[in-house]
Amino acid sequence: MKRIGVLTGGGDCPGLNAVIRAVTKSAIHDHGLEVMGIEDGFLGLIEERVRPLSFADVSNILAQGGTVLGTSNKANPSRYCTGYDHAGNPIFEDVSDRVMESVARFALDALVCIGGDGTMSAAAPFIARGVKVMGVPKTIDNDVMHTELTFGFDTAVGTATEALDRIRTTAASHHRVMLVEMMGRNAGWLTLHAGLAGGADVILIPEIPFDLDAVCEACDHRRAEGKSFTLVAVSEGCMPIGGGVVIDRVVHEAFDAIRLGGVSEVLCEQIAERTRLECRATILGHVQRGGTPSAFDRVLATRFGVRAVDMLMSGQFNRMVTYVDGRLSSVRIEEVADQQRLVPVDDPLVHAARAVGARFCGVGL
């Protein structure tokens, strides 16, 4: 193995640059490898946008948010939008052959793919075509299978918790019900952790459909007890019992076309109408993905990057680095693709939140 490529796919998050730095520096320093940076995820391989990375290229990016390579969540080679028909509908094609041509053209002996379940799903077909792949788990949702932690999650929890802390003071001052909407399409780990850390009174996550009457009752109950406000942590993918998610828009050319958002605003109107309490909603949105990574995420990202290169050099291909019980391990990428790690209803954090008075407003919760 002489030359490897590294790419970042899917949404950005804090710690991506720390992994790029760790992969590049350890590959050059410990193994004498050449490293090629692939721009904008798999799009860089589709469009042949690949450039060398040196020590100097990755110096001073450890604490920088985002990714110096760029990323894309619309570039799954197996289903790539190549244009639009006369009615404006996207035309999808399998452009995997272009990726294989780029791998050959740039003489890439292996790919380090940094991303979440979508990136691992996009990488999996190339394993069958003979490409050596190493995965590094990334997402602020912490929903990648077979790893207890993904880098970026700790920073996002800190950002969301700080938002809850700041909004709490406004809620108390104006005697309001304040809803704070966080990312989490199918998995509620971010809202659960931030809700617990920020002392939310109600926590609504996708895994536990809520009863609107129970949410309103929780607000009324606090008022009856003399509490002047209620703080509600809301996952963007939460939904009422028997209902569906709130869709913000549809991006037809993307692999995952549905974009969620706005459930807190819908709930805000419903709660205000039923309880006659003053309500406000705040959607944190992409602020959760940005900014300087926490110290924990910098360390975890560095460990992930170094381990990925070490595994490649020891002949352990087509695996994703994992974090289990405080130790690094790995799992076959095929076991991660097309799956998500969701919050179990009986998770210890759910129990802990309920024990300190938070309500999930689901059946029996």
Active site residues: 141
Three-state secondary-structure class, residue 342:
coil
- Name all domains of the chain by residue range, CATH numbers in brackets: 3-151+291-335 (3.40.50.450), 157-289+344-355 (3.40.50.460)
Instruction: For residue range 49-102, list pLDDT tens digits in order.
Output: 999 999 999 999 999 999 999 999 889 999 999 999 999 888 999 999 999 999
Question: What's the confidence (pLDDT) of residue 365?
Answer: 80
Q: How far apart are CA 206 and CA 244, in angstroms?
A: 10
Helices (H), the chain: 16-31, 42-46, 96-105, 117-128, 153-174, 189-197, 212-224, 263-275, 295-313, 348-355
Instruction: For residue range 315-349, list pLDDT tens digits in order.
Output: 999 999 999 999 999 999 999 988 999 999 999 99
Q: At what angle do helices 348-355 and 189-197 cross, to 10 degrees?
A: 30
Q: What one-letter code names the amino acid at 238?
A: C
Question: What's the confidence (pLDDT) of residue 292?
Answer: 96
Choice between 162 and 117, residue whose per-residue pLDDT is larger: 162
Question: What's the confidence (pLDDT) of residue 255?
Answer: 63
> Distance of CA 111 to CAs 42, 45, 108, 325, Å?
11, 11, 7, 27
Question: What's the confidence (pLDDT) of residue 132?
Answer: 97
pTM: 0.94
- Angle 354-357-361 (CA atoms, 0-180°, nearest 5)? 65
Q: How far apart are CA 261 and CA 245, in angstroms?
A: 9
Position 254 pLDDT exceeds 80 = no
- Share of residues in the chain with pLDDT > 90 (%): 91
Confidence of residue 363 (pLDDT cuts 50, 70, 90): confident
Six token digits for residue 291: 């900014």
